[in-house]
């Protein structure tokens, strides 16, 4: 499914991730599926849909493997949607909850660019 993203087949990848999620609602890669679905939506400039995908991870799978990346991406989506306060809050949470990760580093860079 990731290869579809690399080939820039974003619409098709969303459909594939949806199929995975319906077939394996408690699957081992559920957070990955939501994360990459969100990334596909970002590439399609479908910000509300991207937000929804990332929020599933942050709110329903707070101990999931992609939560730090999802929280970072969610912060950037909120910024693009014009909610800079929510964006800053999420990006700061990434820094404090997941220090010394690539997501925290990206959050730091993004926050600096917002100022």
Q: Is 17 exposed, middle or buried (0-12, 13-18, 19+ CB in 10 A)?
A: buried
SS3 content of the chain, % helix, strand, coil (to 5): 75, 0, 25
Which tokens is 76 given? 């950037």
* Structure tokens given for 53: 């995908």
Q: What is the pTM of this model?
A: 0.91
pLDDT band at 12 (very low <50, low <70, confident <90, very high): confident
What residue spans define the domains of the chain?
2-114
| Least confident among 10-19, 27-36, 75-84 | 10-19
pLDDT tens digits for range 72-109: 999 999 999 999 999 999 999 999 999 999 999 999 99
| CATH class held by domain 2-114 | mainly alpha
User: What does the buried/exposed string (b/e) look like for 34-66 if buried means 16 or more CB atoms within 10 Å of the residue's CB?
Assistant: bbbbbbbbbeeebbebbbbbbbbbbeebeebeb
Residue 115 pLDDT: 73
* Inter-residue contact 68 to 97 (CB < 8 Å): yes
The mean per-residue pLDDT over the stretch 1-24 comes to: 79
């Amino acid at each position: 499914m990731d290869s579809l993203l690399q080939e820039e087949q974003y619409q098709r990848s969303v459909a594939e991730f949806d199929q995975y999620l319906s077939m394996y609602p408690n699957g081992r890669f559920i957070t990955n599926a939501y994360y990459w679905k969100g990334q596909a939506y970002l590439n399609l400039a479908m910000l509300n849909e991207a937000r929804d995908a990332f929020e599933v991870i942050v709110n329903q799978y707070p101990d999931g493997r992609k939560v730090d990346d999802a929280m970072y991406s969610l912060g950037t989506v909120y910024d693009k949607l014009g909610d800079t306060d929510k964006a800053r809050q999420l990006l700061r949470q990434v820094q404090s909850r997941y220090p010394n990760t690539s997501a925290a580093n990206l959050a730091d860079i993004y926050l600096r660019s917002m100022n």
